């Protein structure tokens, strides 16, 4: 996968792309990153990328020309048939694990990160394929949101994680929150690991994990249960969980 990022603050991404899973993914040649300062595409000698909004109002608006020209250049040199051009925007669709899985199937992603009051509407109308919001709040720019999306997408690429099962069992990948995890020692300050996890009985362990996943989802995010179809066994467990004291 190829990932391009358009930002007037490209230095913000050096630490993110240069560490942990994102760095290892590039070393494994699963992905390549490039951060482009779209100020370099401005057609004026002062490299101005924003201007006052028509009709008045507070703040500045990003001009269409630098972003149009930057995206045109990246698309022209892309090996992908049609790159996805993602606008980070609080007005966009709420980001989900399902969206991450969808984007992870693409060959080329272009992220547009803006600042100031907003974008010229023609950017949205003519070059953007996806508008994404990571939550119902406003950030000073799209960079942090793009980092979140890129991290969640790259970890899904084949060969990036140590185990392919890692992301399959993640919270939200199955529609449920993930079950609790434990590691050594089996007892710590009087707190013991559930006996089933040390039993060696893989069928019982799998059942325990699924039931605890249901329990955690019901207590923390019951809204998620409205969107998934439970098996008969899961429905039985859920009824038992509902009857238990909190």
Active-site residues: which are they?
90, 117, 155, 170
151, 158 Cβ separation under 8 angstroms: no
Angle subtended at Cα 117 by Cα 114 and Cα 120, rounded to the nearest 5 degrees: 70
d(CA 215, CA 217): 5
d(CA 150, CA 15): 14
Which positions ≥6 away from 47 have C-beta within 8 Å?
39, 40
Alpha helical stretches, state H, 39-78: 64-76
62 CB burial (10 A radius; 0-12, 13-18, 19+): buried
């Amino acid at each position: 996968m190829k990932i391009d990022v358009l930002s007037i603050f490209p230095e913000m991404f050096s630490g993110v792309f240069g560490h942990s899973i994102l760095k290892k993914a590039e070393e494994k040649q699963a992905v390549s990153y490039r951060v482009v300062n779209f100020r370099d595409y401005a057609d004026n000698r002062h490299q101005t990328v924003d201007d006052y909004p028509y009709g008045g109002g507070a703040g500045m608006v990003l001009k269409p020309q630098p972003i149009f020209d930057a995206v045109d250049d990246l698309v022209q040199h892309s090996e992908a048939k049609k790159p996805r051009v993602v606008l980070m925007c609080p007005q966009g669709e709420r980001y989900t694990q399902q969206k991450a899985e969808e984007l992870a199937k693409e060959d080329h992603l272009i992220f547009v990160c803006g600042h100031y009051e907003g974008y010229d509407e023609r950017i949205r109308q003519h070059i953007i394929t996806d508008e994404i919001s990571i939550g119902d709040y406003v950030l000073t720019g799209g960079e942090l949101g793009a980092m979140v999306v890129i991290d969640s997408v790259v970890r899904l690429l084949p060969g990036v994680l140590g185990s392919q099962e890692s992301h399959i069992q993640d919270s939200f990948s199955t529609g449920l929150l993930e079950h609790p995890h434990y590691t050594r020692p089996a007892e710590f300050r009087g707190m013991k690991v559930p006996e089933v996890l040390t039993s060696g009985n893989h069928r019982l362990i799998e059942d325990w994990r699924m039931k605890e996943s249901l329990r955690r989802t019901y207590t923390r995010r019951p809204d998620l249960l409205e969107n998934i179809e439970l098996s008969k066994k899961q429905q039985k467990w859920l009824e038992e969980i509902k009857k238990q004291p909190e």
